[in-house]
Amino acid sequence: MLLNSDASGVYPIAPTPFFDDGKIDFNSIDRLIDFYLESGSTGATVLGQLGEAAKLEHEESVEVARRFISRASAIPVVVGVSAPGFAAMRALTREVMEMGAAGVMIAPPNTLRTDDQIVTYYRQAVEAIGSDVPFVLQDYPLTFSVQMTPGVIRRIVQELPSCVMLKHEDWPGLEKISTLRGFEKDGSMRHISILCGNNGLFLDYELERGADGANTGYCFPDMLCDVVRLTKAGKREEAHDLFDAHLPLLRYEQQPGAGLAVRKYVMMRRGLLTSAAQRKPGASMTPQAKSEVDHLLARLAKKDARAGKLVG
């Protein structure tokens, strides 16, 4: 089930569940995948930034990926393999592809500055992992400090056939999506899948600009699935109404540094995670922050009953 350029829908970015003592909670992995499947997710991505991949030992990364892949046999699983060097990237890629991963996601190191440096980096990454491995190009300048213009993305797509998806997380980025789809229309770039991250903050209009879906970790991935479905069905106002109801929580969860703590807290409240713990170093929520999130959930529940079905 290899990833291809026709991928669409919602690929939730999965957190890595931990117990309070920092050990990996594999049973929560099972609950997450089961929930993604029940929600209508068309794929999943693991070991991304949200998955605290940098805090895992290599063997732990392999075991986390193995559990997700084996449990999610019905949908493709993409594994984040970003690493400081190509040796580590190659090793993890080989292991996860052998166990059935659909492809890998590669983020750029923050040392890249010019278009040529960016293209060269991805060319060398493909040489390291193999041109037969489909990969997702992660474009998130707000975090990685690497500016990828539409032109440089086109160069990567045209030069490297194994690039089948763009994880679009630029902000503002609506015009970038339109430009890339324009390249496809004029024949200067082949078609690739565009799934959007950045916590889905602009997903409603990103879909209307030509994005194929979402690739983010918002604590209500089922809402993302509904918005994509409604948009594809032509129910524009219904999609916007549902999305707008979640915007206050989306915004709160997107806070740099604190967002993962919020996300895990809500997913614990939804019964998906045993604990909201992050592996150290990691931010924790104050009682006041928890009270604010609870208030946001209570307000959301007035428009989306799922926010009222919480445990603990």
* pLDDT surpasses 80 at 236: yes
Q: pLDDT (tens digit, 9 = 90+) per residue, 163-220?
A: 999 999 999 999 999 999 999 999 999 999 999 999 999 999 999 999 999 999 999 9
Rounded distance between C-alpha atoms, residue 28 and residue 237, angstroms: 35
Indicate the burial class of 64 (C-beta count within 10 angstroms; 0-12, 13-18, 19 or more). buried
Phi, psi dihedral angles at 9 (to 5 degrees): 95, -140
pLDDT tier for residue 134 given thresholds of 50, 70 and 90: very high
Residue pLDDT, tens place only, 67-89: 999 999 999 999 999 999 999 99
The answer to whether residue 249 scores a pLDDT higher than 80 is: yes
Query: Scanning the structure block, which residue is given the tokens 């990364």?
Result: 61
Say which residues have a Cβ less than 8 Å from residue 115's Cβ, sequence separation at least 6.
149, 151, 152, 155
Distance from chain centroid for Cα 246: 18
Measured distance CA(170)–CA(176) in Å, rounded: 8
Task: Give the Cα separation of 279 and 136 in Å (integer).
Answer: 26
pLDDT of the residue at 289: 97
**164 CB-near residues (< 8 Å, 6+ apart):** 3, 4, 5, 7, 103, 134, 135, 136, 192, 193
Q: Specify the DSSP class assigned to residue 106.
A: E
Cβ atoms within 10 Å, residue 202: 22
**Domains delineated in the chain:** 9-303 (3.20.20.70)
What's the N-to-C CA distance of the chain in angstroms? 38
Q: What is the pTM of this model?
A: 0.96
